[in-house]
Amino acid sequence: MKVLVCGGAGYIGSHMVRRLSRDGIEPVVFDNLSTGHREAVGDAPFVQGDLLERDDLRALFAQYRFDAVMHFCARSLVGESMTQPYAYYENNVAGTLNLLQAMHEAGVGKLVFSSTAAVFGVPESDLIDESHPRQPINPYGASKLMVERILEDAGRAYGLRSVALRYFNAAGASPQGDIGESHEPETHLIPNMLRAATGKGPSLKVFGNDYATPDGTCVRDYVHVDDLADAHSRALAFMATHEGAHAFNLGNGSGFSVLEMIRAASDVVGSEIPYDLAPRRAGDPDRLVASSAKAQRELGWAPRYTDVAEIVETAWRWHRQPRY
């Protein structure tokens, strides 16, 4: 079996490439390296290209015959999406349309799509399940929701089988410490905490302390990157027996505030994490915590990493000596 991994040189994609290889499935990585790292791919076949370039996709699908596609390519910064919405709709929506059209022309009928909790907007319940209204409050979430709707239409029109996996907060790194999260600029909480702890980054900024949460800082649900890779593997198997478009929420089901995460990271590294308060970022909801009951029921998926300190510990192994 051969699977195209779009964005396979990125954070989550590189962990997925490793999981596919371990499962005896051949991954082929397609990435423009705008945020990914060639070193993260290892020995997997690699093609440099861009979803916005249709000729790149035609050449890719002419070179390989794929059984399925996993799509990790996206602009994914909420704050940036508020100031550069055109870039988000072009990359996340138009780029995905190019990919879907190339798949259709090549007769590839299965797609696992990286979606996001941002499709839901402001939560109306403590735990967000798949029945929650999808009302994004930022262009990033809106662009992902548009793709989800395109996949639903493609299922009806062309018979495309798809699974959209809505991540809450991807976190952690390979337990071996050899691949991990490396962005520039870095906007995610855990790597920025650990960069501050090593002195390789500036003092951590906590964006807002006046949210409607117990300590005033945002509450998020953190799910380990290897648990996300496991969900993708299960989604691939799920599509073998399920037609149409499907969506699943992926999280731990537990929420932790920014200040709680700082305390957990301080315990892991053995020293205080310095931080400064900063104004709220536009487009950030107070609380995002998943109900993954549907994924557990239909995919047989459950997170293996349920202790947030253990998640931080895997990231700490990477950040102490990053390879790229």
Mean per-residue pLDDT for 201-211? Answer: 90
Is the per-residue pLDDT at 186 higher than 90? no
pLDDT tens sequence across 49-74: 999 999 999 999 999 999 999 999 99
How is residue 166 annotated by DSSP?
A: E
C-alpha of 199 from chain center: 27
Verify whether residue 140 is a known catalytic residue: yes
Q: What is the DSSP letter of 128?
A: B
Q: Read off the pLDDT band of 267 (50, 70, 90).
A: very high
- Asked if the model's pLDDT at residue 184 lies above 80, the reply is no
Question: Please, which pLDDT band fits residue 199 given cuts at 50, 70 and 90?
Answer: confident
Burial class (CB in 10 A: 0-12, 13-18, 19+), 185: exposed
Considering the candidates 11, 89, 140, 211, report the single residue annotated as catalytic: 140
How confident is the model at residue 201, as a pLDDT?
A: 77
Q: Which domains does the chain have, with CATH numbers?
A: 2-171+222-250 (3.40.50.720), 189-220+253-320 (3.90.25.10)
Q: Check residue 285 and give its pLDDT.
A: 82
pLDDT of residue 272 exceeding 80, the answer is yes
Six token digits for residue 315: 């990231």
Supply the mean pLDDT for the chain.
94
What's the rounded Cα separation, in Å, for the pair 143 and 22?
A: 32
Q: Taking the C-alpha atoms of 168, 169, 170 and 175 in order, what is their torsion angle to the nearest 10 degrees?
A: -120
Sign of the alpha-carbon torsion through 150, 151, 155, 159: positive
Distance (Å, whole) CA 225 – CA 231: 10
Sorted by sequence, the CB contacts under 8 Å of residue 183 that are 6+ apart come out as 11, 35, 191
Tell me the average pLDDT across 9-24. Answer: 96
Distance CA 254, CA 168 (A): 11
- For residues 203 and 310, the model is more confident at 310
Instruction: Give the whole-angstrom CA distance, residue 219 versus residue 167.
Output: 15
On the question of pLDDT at 283 being above 80, the answer is: no
